């Protein structure tokens, strides 16, 4: 085989070899325990969200606001509307996941009820459809029977980053609060802090 032919064949041989190596490689994976606390890096992760959510749930169910509302309203359970969870960090974080975990556990406790504010516009559109005469007579749903919210649930996630003595420290703070819609009074608030510290290498974190 001439030198020119070898040069022409070399790219082909490289591609074939790369394909053969890729075909021989296999990907292995395992299911991880979602309840295991893991610190991989200095970024916000699932463990942080779970730990924060658990603290908020314990606090919300134990504080006086719940007992006082039941006493003042003949034992009724309060209706809560999730308003906003502000991400004040520089990271791209799905803060809704924190709210959702707290909401789910509060609902399952049987002591708190939640309204689906995100679906209100779709519900109004469904009312119009059902009242248009196209559904079976006597089965159409209409306005005037929705429950009103008693409290707004709001929150925020912030972080403070500091570096000293070869260490980088990131402190996350999750804050949630319930506001009485009728009186604007904040009836419950809780703060959860999570601190992570890493030794900095010469290449950084």
Six-digit token pair at 43? 């970024």
Six-digit token pair at 186? 């904040």
User: According to the model, what pLDDT value does residue 24 have?
Assistant: 52
Six-digit token pair at 122? 């779709």
Q: Enumerate domains of the chain plus CATH numbers.
A: 41-120+146-199 (3.40.50)
pLDDT over threshold 60, residue 100: yes
CA distance 176 to 86: 10
Six-digit token pair at 132? 């248009």
Residue 194 forms beta bridges with which residues?
172
- Report the SS3 class of residue 159: strand
CA distance 200 to 145: 59
Confidence of residue 205 (pLDDT cuts 50, 70, 90): very low
Confidence of residue 160 (pLDDT cuts 50, 70, 90): very high
- Looking at residue 56, the DSSP 8-state letter turns out to be H
pLDDT single digits (tens) 29-58: 555 444 554 555 678 888 888 889 999 999
pLDDT single digits (tens) 51-91: 899 999 999 999 999 999 999 999 999 999 998 889 999 99
Please list the helix, strand and coil fractions of the chain in percent, rounded to the nearest 5, in that order: 35, 25, 35
- Looking at residue 133, the DSSP 8-state letter turns out to be T
pLDDT over threshold 80, residue 14: no
Residue 29: what are its φ and ψ, rounded to 5°?
-145, 160
CA-CA distances (angstroms) from residue 37 to 146, 180, 183, 200?
A: 41, 35, 40, 22
CA distance 172 to 177: 17
pLDDT single digits (tens) 120-159: 899 999 999 999 999 998 899 988 889 999 999 999 999 9
Percent of the chain clearing pLDDT 70 (strictly above) = 77
Region 106-110: mean pLDDT is: 94
């Amino acid at each position: 085989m001439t030198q020119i032919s070898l040069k022409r064949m070399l790219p082909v041989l490289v591609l074939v070899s790369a394909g053969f190596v890729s075909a021989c490689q296999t990907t292995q994976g395992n299911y991880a325990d979602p309840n295991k606390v893991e610190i991989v890096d200095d970024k916000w992760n699932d463990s942080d969200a779970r730990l924060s959510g658990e603290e908020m749930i314990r606090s919300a169910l134990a504080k006086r606001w719940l007992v006082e509302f039941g006493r003042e309203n003949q034992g009724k359970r309060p209706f809560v509307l999730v308003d906003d969870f502000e991400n004040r960090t520089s990271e791209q974080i799905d803060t809704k996941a924190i709210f959702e975990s707290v909401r789910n556990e509060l609902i399952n406790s049987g002591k708190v009820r939640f309204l689906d504010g995100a679906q209100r516009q779709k519900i109004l559109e469904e009312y119009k459809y059902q009242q248009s005469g196209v559904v079976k007579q006597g089965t159409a749903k209409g306005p005037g029977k929705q429950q009103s919210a008693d409290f707004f649930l709001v929150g925020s996630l912030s972080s403070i980053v500091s570096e000293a003595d070869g260490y980088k420290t990131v402190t996350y703070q999750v804050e949630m609060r319930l506001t009485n819609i009728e009186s604007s009074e904040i009836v419950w608030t809780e703060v959860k802090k999570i601190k992570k510290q890493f030794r900095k290498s010469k290449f950084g974190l």
